Amino acid sequence: MTLGKIKEILDAEVLVGNEYMDIDVRDAFAADLLSDVLAFAKEGTLLITGITNPQVIRTAEMLEFIGILFVRGKKPDEEAVNLARIKKVPLLSTRYIMFETCGRLFKNGLVGCIERTVNEGTET
Amino acid sequence: MKEQKHDEHLLEQEFTVKGGDFILAGEVSSKIKTILKEIGIRQEVIIRTAIATYEAEMNVVCHADRGKFHLTITPDRLSIVVEDEGQGIENIDLAMKAGFSTASAEIREMGFGAGMGLPNIKKNVDDLKITSVVGGGTRMEMVILT
């Protein structure tokens, strides 16, 4: 599934990276806790989140995420958007809530980058 | 076959991190990641190093006044020594436990402070040594085999 297809399914707005809409998205990870993103998300995945601070862009840079999809209509401020431009991280924003966003993408064939954690949520 | 010299330094560089500067937080990790890419370190190692350094950098920004990152690259490994001046860690064994955190509400609002940082660093590096003086600072040495 391409980023462009995700944009279409979720009626999303592209905030950064219109030129990356043909990129293929392998899988996704959704969380509102950056600690969990850093601990569990896999390199190259699509991050679905409601966090909009610059740290979410930095996290995406470290894990080389294919992009960030903000849910609940959230949009990062100009500072974070600029950082995303510099780091070449595509940003999309949808008005769907996280549950609906994940459900719609899953129904269209996108899977999680991991299925579950190994123990009490500390290992994958 | 010639044996590789393990003490041969390919590169050594130092970076400084300012405590409390959440805007720049991550910039040192970004610089280190760029260096590793440029010299052609394996991708899997780059990602593990990036996660560990970013967690460590956030720790300095969140909990210390200032810190230094010392990167050493030798033919078979990366060593990153993080030394900070700050509050220190009272009980390192406790701090290593997943879920234990002393983070402020402000840090938690940013999406951090879940008590996952140190366990996550440990998971991503091949060797981790931490020493700390309460009220003085923390020294952390991470080794990643390349």
Domain map (residue ranges) of chain B: 11-145
pLDDT at A85 over 70: yes
State the nearest Cα–Cα gap between B140 and chain A, in angstroms.
19
pTM of the model: 0.92
Rounded CA gap, B54 and B71, in Å?
A: 14
pLDDT at A122 over 60: no
Orientation angle between helical segments B43-63 and B27-38, nearest 10 degrees: 160
Burial class for B129, CB neighbours closer than 10 Å (0-12, 13-18, 19+): exposed
Question: What is the reported pLDDT for B3?
Answer: 46
Query: CB distance B114–A54 less than 8 Å?
Result: no
Residues in chain A with CB shorter than 8 Å from the CB of B56 are none
Quote the percentage of chain A above a pLDDT of 90: 94
Chain A within 8 Å of B45 (Cβ-Cβ)? no
Query: CB distance A62–B54 less than 8 Å?
Result: yes
What confidence category does residue B2 fall into, taking pLDDT thresholds of 50, 70 and 90?
very low
Report domain A3-107's class: alpha beta
Contact call for residues B109 and B131 (beta carbons, < 8 A): no
Which among A33, A38, A55 has the least Cβ separation from residue B120? A38
Chain A within 8 Å of B47 (Cβ-Cβ)? yes
State the nearest Cα–Cα gap between A8 and chain B, in angstroms.
28
pLDDT at A112 over 50: yes
Whether CATH 3.30.565.10 fits B11-145:
yes
Rounded CA gap, B56 and B118, in Å?
A: 8
Residues in chain B with CB shorter than 8 Å from the CB of A34 are 110-112
Alpha helices in chain B (DSSP H): 27-38, 43-63, 92-95, 105-109, 117-124
Question: What is the reported pLDDT for B1?
Answer: 43
Question: What average pLDDT is seen over chain B?
Answer: 92
Interface with chain B: mutation pick from A49, A51, A55, highest number of B CBs within 10 Å: A55
Query: CB distance B25–A53 less than 8 Å?
Result: no
Dig out the tokens for B17 from the structure: 């991190």
Q: Residue A86 belongs to what H/E stretch?
A: helix A78-87
The larger pLDDT score, comparing residue A120 to residue A73, is at A73
**Which residue does chain B place closest to A124, by CA atoms?**
B123
Rounded CA gap, B24 and B49, in Å?
A: 19
Give me the residue label for tokens 């509102």: A32
pLDDT digits (tens, 9 = 90+) for B32-41: 999 999 999 9
Query: Could you state, in order of their start, the residue ranges of all structural domains in chain A?
Result: 3-107
